[in-house]
Amino acid sequence: MFSTVISGAIHGITSYLMHVEVDAADGLPSFNMVGLPSTEVREAGDRVKVALKNSGIRIPPMHITVNLSPADIRKEGVSVDLPVALGILISMGEIEADALQDTMVLGELGLDGEVKKIRGVLPIVREAAEKGCRVCILPAENAREGAVIQNVRVIGVRSLQEVIAYLTVSSRDRDTLIKPTKVRLTEIFMEKEAGGTLDFADISGQAAAKRAVEIAAAGFHHVLMAGPPGSGKSMIAKRVPTILPPLSLSESLEVSTIYSVAGLLQPGEALITQRPFMSPHHSITETALTGGGRIPQPGVISLAHRGVLFLDELAEFGRSTLDLLRQPLEDRVVHIARSGGTFSYPSDFMLVGALNPCPCGYYPDRNRCRCSEKEIARYLGHISGPILDRMDLCVEVPRIAVEELDTTGILNESSAVIRTRVLKARKLQQERFYGTALRFNSDMGPKDIQKFCHLGMKEKRLLEQIFHSMDLSARAYHRMIKVARTIADLDGSQEITQMHLTEAACYRMADSKLWRKKTD
């Protein structure tokens, strides 16, 4: 007898519905799986047979053929175990075929019949809902993740026996047997809104660095901090998420999809509601940074999507590793080509870099620094010019004076205060970009800059002088205008003034002083 069960799979960051076709016929006992399955998918046959036996289902000697359609896409993962088992049961007459009408099934089976958690549930359920499925049977640990998609009934199951019992009762009694999982999106966001322990109030001094980070957060710009060890660079970077605008629902779904595909959603977790903060060690491999592998997975830069990628000790990263960031920083997506196809992962992140000015970290203090000019040039040479050109703001973080460490009777600005200003600037950007795909000032292209960043004659002359005196590239020129637009937003100004352009140029000038002085 022939049967078909709707299932799903992921291909990169996207998903597609898969039809698990099962034919059980008399003949020499065998189990064949076709449809371009990978090794772990092909092993589903053994898992399913043992799981059925341990669940009290005896499979008589028969010739079983399983086809995974479409057959031209290589199948990865273990999500087909449960659909294959149900397909066999339908072919054997144990379950009515109508019981799975408009139903999508996912799940890995243990040898004892347990239905185990899988990855990639969120995008698959979304695809199923769009294709007309009304019910999704999922592992119980993935139920809240799937229930984020509001227009389907999500049934979380823990064992094969539980699934069989659910499908063999009348449709009227099913909800009393297993209640559909439901989530309230507003409650999820409210639960995660409570802040952590990190706060800008913990940081004394470093007004210039905090100002640069505030501008970066308001416009979602990339920022680089340079200074000696212990000056507070890492402390500042780790507090950047506390002043960023909260994730919107659409952004949360994007981020949650990536984490779902990577299998990083915690059991019972429905959505990622706070902006990610990724801080990889400088020994990270190129594949781990950008993604890929035998079974392609999102890399760290994709896990930082809509959030912060913090690269501490930036000059310690390999030059080839850092240069892999060029295209993602520009296009906000990373493309990975493999024999199984081409995969694209979103990577729209805010890059925050921190580095020491020399190998020992104390240049230009020659009382403490013993590095030669060649050593300094070689050290900073790990960071290529194209990467530096993509940094919107560069600020020096000097050593803190002892007077600034004594905070008795002094209240530093908290993250809440800074975030209030950032949100006001963000609101101006929302109004400005209404009806477009732009979100932050950093998203603007050259044509958008012409449309939204009007400059007066004085400002144009000043910008021309800055361009020639600093020998800027076209990219740096446009990035400086975008930073000036963000500074104007923080001031509540509709127009970009000379003061805003001058401050934006100072952050490019810090870039110039830090590298050209040491490498020329």
Alpha-carbon distance values, 414 to 29, 202, 243, 421 (Å): 70, 8, 9, 12
Alpha-carbon distance values, 134 to 69, 397, 426 (Å): 20, 56, 38
Type of residue at 41 = V
Q: How confident is the model at residue 518 (pLDDT cuts 50, 70, 90)?
A: very low
Highest mean pLDDT among 67-71, 201-205, 359-363: 67-71
How far apart (Å, rounded) are the C-alpha atoms in residues 195 and 174? 40
Smallest CA-to-CA distance from 347 within 254, 244, 245 is with 254
Task: Note the residue count of the chain.
Answer: 520
- The pLDDT tens digits of the residues spanning 413-466 come to 999 999 999 999 999 999 999 999 999 999 999 999 999 999 999 999 999 999
Contact 44, 78 (CB under 8 A): yes
Count of CB atoms within 10 A of residue 365's CB?
13
Angle at 338 between CA 334 and CA 343, to 5 degrees: 35
For 112-151, letters b (16+ CB in 10 Å) and e give ebbbbbbbbbbbbbbbbbeeebebbbbbbbbbbbbbbbee
Q: Where are the alpha helices (DSSP H) in 304-401?
A: 319-323, 326-331, 373-380, 385-389
Q: What is the mean pLDDT of the chain?
A: 90
- Residues with Cβ within 8 Å of residue 290, at least 6 apart in sequence: 299, 301, 324, 328, 334, 336
- Report pLDDT for 296: 81
For 154-191, letters b (16+ CB in 10 Å) and e give bbbbbbbbbbbebbeeeeeebeeebeebebebeebbee
- The pLDDT tens digits of the residues spanning 42-66 come to 888 899 999 999 999 988 889 999 9
Give the up-direction half-sphere exposure of residue 176: CA atoms within 13 A in the CB hemisphere.
5
Contact 258, 303 (CB under 8 A): yes
Contact 141, 267 (CB under 8 A): yes
In the chain, residues under CATH classification 3.40.50.300 are: 192-519
Type of residue at 490 = L
Residue 515 has pLDDT above 90, yes or no: no
DSSP secondary structure of 190-243? HHH-S--S--GGG--S-HHHHHHHHHHHHHT--EEEE--TTSSHHHHHHTGGGG
Residue 479's beta-bridge partner residues? none
In the chain, residues under CATH classification 3.30.230.10 are: 2-183
Mean pLDDT of 215-225: 96
- The pLDDT tens digits of the residues spanning 356-393 come to 989 998 888 888 888 988 898 888 888 888 898 899 99
Lowest mean pLDDT among 78-82, 99-103, 147-151, 408-412: 408-412
How far apart (Å, rounded) are the C-alpha atoms in residues 425 and 441? 10
Mean pLDDT of 116-143: 95
Report the percent of the chain where pLDDT is more than 90.
67
Instruction: Give the residue carrying structure tokens 């003949």.
Output: 27
SS3 category, 99: helix
- Report pLDDT for 234: 93
Smallest CA-to-CA distance from 516 within 464, 469, 480 is with 469
Tokens of 177: 């047997």
Contact 241, 274 (CB under 8 A): yes
Lowest mean pLDDT among 5-19, 122-136, 354-368: 354-368
Rg for the chain, CA atoms, rounded: 28
Q: How many helices (H) and strands (E) does the chain have?
A: 23, 18
Is 192-519 a CATH 3.90.230.10 domain? no
- The pLDDT tens digits of the residues spanning 237-272 come to 999 999 999 998 899 999 999 999 999 988 778 889
Q: Which CATH number does 2-183 carry?
A: 3.30.230.10
How far apart (Å, rounded) are the C-alpha atoms in residues 459 and 451? 16
DSSP 438: -
Residue 514 has pLDDT above 60, yes or no: no
Lowest mean pLDDT among 345-354, 397-406, 417-426, 451-460: 397-406
- Report pLDDT for 511: 43
Count of CB atoms within 10 A of residue 293's CB?
12
* Beta strand pairing call for 103-105 and 135-139: parallel
Count of CB atoms within 10 A of residue 30's CB?
11
- Report pLDDT for 488: 97
Report the percent of the chain where pLDDT is more than 70.
95
Q: How confident is the model at residue 188 (pLDDT cuts 50, 70, 90)?
A: confident
Smallest CA-to-CA distance from 319 within 238, 276, 382 is with 382
Mean pLDDT of 214-230: 94
- Report pLDDT for 40: 85
